[in-house]
């Protein structure tokens, strides 16, 4: 679907978002005439809205009503059909700016930060965890800025999962999309188990399987309300998590300065036992924990297709990443590095990221002699785990729906009901979530270790792929004689930020492979290597399999001249858009310096 294949493209959204009217004129053999369809909101027709509550509830599970003229898509290539399908996929659009802001701020504050940071501290020491967070954080900031640019321009179903196929190659989109969906679907039962184990902090007389059932039902009910339910729950849970982290930082600074029963601590633990543990290898070991902590930042862009006004909401949410990294990760790493020595034996329990007693937050508070706060922090950890489980369902279901509409997995997973829910994708995830009942099995840790090995390094490749897609998108603009003057939101880091992000992430993967071949404190172990790096050969096999199945060996990547840079845009009058962007830039240049600095970072 080249730029000449579409004469005009327009997506109009009503203020209530109860109707969507895309109009596309096709030529060059792709059909003719004005084409339109209507998406009758999230509640069905007006007659249904006046009916009994039970009937409206039952009818909400019916397929979304689309009214469109017949359009001949038979002459489109598979890639062109994929782009067209993701652009018109009828997901609900009920996320507001406040939802996206809090998802951006608190979306990745979970067990990776509260518990997993303890294992990272034990492996590398306080200096290593700061270095690891800075490197991964910088790569994440570059990635999210690049992703924000593309998602504002193309708020389509699946966001970056669609961008892989659109700007790099469909086979790459298949591999990264499947691995990304796997990472979330495997995370879901693991988080349910973590919820059950966290509750045992207060009461271990009840079978953990009971708590798994309760939390599974809770997440199911939340997602029964569609994206609006997810957005509202994440809004309030994120507020709690953000307040908890800020409160801990303030409390930690007080403890460092001598408010606790240990007196003045300062940088005592940086001198003894030291700033680093296991040297450079210890620094490399921190990267996976850092990736686990930062995981979820990309969910903001994944929600772009379900956002009422992505042009306004996404840039703000994207820029929040800088503050989240600075405040919630860098400052937290400094505080826990000062309060907890890496020799603390409780930290080693955090290798599973499920034992709350391994949380450096809880350890620091207990060592400080504060009796009430450990229970409060445990409650915050429980809330965080529930939030990550909720995000797992959202992330996996939307990814599967996007892959299905692209024809990369069975199309039944792309079924969208009248409330905008990817129904069969949700059912599939809930079935996988029942693996959480393995909590009663003493070997559940080994089972999930091998499950996670399938997507062990997938986060790094997902983020690197986003940066590559951004580079390819910019190359497509250049190759077609177009410029960033028509790009609604440009990445503050520019295309060079994407190059830097790819470079850092590739080096991190190399470091992880090295640590997996030569583990810390033990000789080379084949089992450990495959547990950490199984995703590498799996990605290659999946890529070769898809290339063979799709018979696309004649094309390893999409040429810039062939990229579709128009389908799926909400603003399609290029000249008018260029003028609006130019006016905004001129107004910004005339603004005071302090305001320009504020808008750059916020």
Within 373-493, where are the H helices? 373-405, 423-433, 444-453, 458-479
d(CA 32, CA 26): 5
pLDDT of residue 500: 94
Q: Are 112 and 293 in contact (CB under 8 A)?
A: yes
| 488 HSE (CA, 13 A, CB side) | 24
In this structure, what are the phi and psi dihedrals at residue 554, rounded to the nearest 5 degrees?
Answer: -75, -10
The Cβ of residue 365 has, within 10 Å, a number of other Cβ atoms equal to 24
C-alpha–C-alpha distance, residues 299 and 395, integer Å: 7
What's the pLDDT at 518? 85
pLDDT given for residue 431 in this prediction: 93
Q: Which region holds residue 258: left if phi is over 0, alpha if psi is between -120 and 50, else beta? A: left
Contact 299, 394 (CB under 8 A): yes
pLDDT of residue 108: 67
Q: Helix or strand or coil: residue 24?
A: strand
DSSP 27: -
Residues of the chain with pLDDT below 70 are: 1-51, 56-95, 97, 101, 104-108, 157-158, 303-306, 308, 322, 348-357, 444-445, 570-573, 601-602
pLDDT of residue 29: 30
**The CATH homologous superfamily of the domain defined by 77-571:** Amino acid/polyamine transporter I (1.20.1740.10)
pLDDT of residue 83: 63
HSE toward the beta carbon, residue 212, CA cutoff 13 A: 21
DSSP 262-313: T---TTHHHHTT-S-SSHHHHHHHHHHHHHHHHTTTTHHHHTGGGBS-HHHH
User: Side-chain half-sphere of 446: how many Cα atoms within 13 Å?
Assistant: 4
| H or E stretch at 7 | strand 6-13
**Separation between Cα atoms, residue 521 and residue 149, nearest integer Å:** 43
Q: Do the beta carbons of residue 524 and residue 517 sit within 8 Å?
A: yes
CB 257 within 8 A of CB 344: no
Domain segments of the chain as ranges: 1-76, 77-571, 575-602
Return the pLDDT at 63: 65
CB count in 10 Å sphere of residue 476: 21
User: Residue 277: which of 326, 337, 362 has the closest Cα?
Assistant: 337
Centre a 10 Å sphere on the Cβ of residue 427 and count the other Cβ atoms it contains: 15
């Amino acid at each position: 679907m080249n730029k000449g294949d579409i004469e005009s493209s327009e997506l109009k959204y009503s203020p209530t978002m109860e109707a969507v009217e895309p109009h596309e004129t096709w030529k060059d053999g792709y059909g003719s005439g004005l084409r339109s369809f209507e998406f009758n909101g999230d509640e069905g027709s007006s007659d249904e809205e006046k009916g009994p509550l039970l009937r409206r509830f039952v009818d909400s599970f019916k397929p979304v009503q689309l009214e469109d003229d017949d359009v001949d898509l038979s002459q489109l290539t598979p890639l062109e059909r994929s782009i067209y399908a993701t652009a018109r996929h009828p997901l609900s659009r009920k996320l507001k700016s406040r939802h996206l802001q809090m998802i951006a701020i608190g979306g990745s504050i979970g067990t990776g930060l509260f518990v997993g940071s303890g294992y990272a501290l034990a492996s590398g020491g306080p200096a290593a965890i700061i270095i690891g967070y800075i490197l991964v954080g910088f790569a994440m900031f570059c990635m999210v800025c690049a992703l924000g640019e593309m998602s504002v321009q193309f708020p389509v179903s699946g966001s970056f999962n669609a961008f892989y196929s659109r700007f790099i190659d469909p086979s790459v989109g298949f591999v990264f999309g499947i691995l990304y969906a796997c990472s979330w679907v495997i995370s879901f039962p693991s988080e349910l188990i973590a919820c059950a184990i966290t509750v045992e902090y207060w009461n271990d007389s009840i079978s953990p399987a009971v708590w798994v059932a309760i939390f599974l039902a809770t997440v199911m009910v939340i997602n029964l309300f569609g994206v609006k339910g997810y957005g509202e729950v994440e809004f309030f849970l994120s507020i709690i998590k953000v307040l908890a982290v800020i409160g801990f930082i303030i409390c930690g600074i007080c403890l460092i300065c001598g408010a606790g029963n240990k007196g003045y601590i300062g940088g005592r633990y940086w001198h003894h036992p030291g700033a680093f543990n296991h040297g450079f290898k210890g620094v490399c070991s921190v990267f996976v924990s850092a990736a686990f902590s930062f995981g979820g930042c990309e969910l903001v862009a994944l929600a772009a297709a379900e956002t009422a006004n992505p042009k306004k909401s996404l840039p703000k949410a994207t820029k929040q990443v800088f503050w989240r990294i600075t405040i919630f990760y860098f400052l937290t790493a400094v505080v826990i590095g000062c309060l907890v020595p890496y020799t603390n034996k409780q930290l080693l329990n955090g290798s599973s990221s499920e034992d709350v007693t391994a949380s450096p937050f809880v350890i620091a508070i207990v060592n400080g002699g504060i009796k009430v706060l450990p229970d409060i922090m445990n409650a915050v950890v429980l809330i965080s785990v529930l939030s990550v489980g909720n995000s797992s369902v959202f992330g996996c279901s939307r990814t599967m729906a996007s892959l299905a509409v692209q024809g990369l997995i069975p199309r039944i997973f792309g079924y969208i009901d009248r409330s905008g829910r990817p129904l069969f994708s949700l059912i599939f995830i809930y079935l996988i979530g029942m693996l959480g009942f393995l909590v009663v099995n003493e070997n559940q840790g080994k089972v999930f270790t091998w499950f996670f090995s399938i997507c062990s390094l997938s986060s790094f490749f997902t983020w690197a792929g986003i940066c590559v897609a951004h580079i390819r998108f910019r190359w497509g603009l250049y190759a077609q004689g177009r410029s960033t003057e028509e790009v609604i939101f440009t990445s503050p880091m520019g295309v060079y930020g994407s190059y830097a992000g790819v470079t850092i992430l590739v080096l991190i993967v190399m470091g992880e492979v090295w640590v997996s071949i030569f583990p810390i404190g033990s000789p080379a172990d084949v089992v450990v290597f495959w547990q950490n790096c199984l995703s590498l050969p799996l990605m290659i096999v999946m890529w070769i399999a898809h290339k063979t199945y799709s018979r696309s060996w004649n094309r390893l990547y999409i040429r810039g001249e062939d990229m579709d840079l128009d389908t799926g845009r909400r603003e399609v009058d290029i000249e008018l858009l260029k003028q609006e962007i130019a006016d905004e830039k001129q107004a910004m240049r005339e603004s005071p310096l302090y305001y320009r600095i504020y808008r750059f970072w916020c």
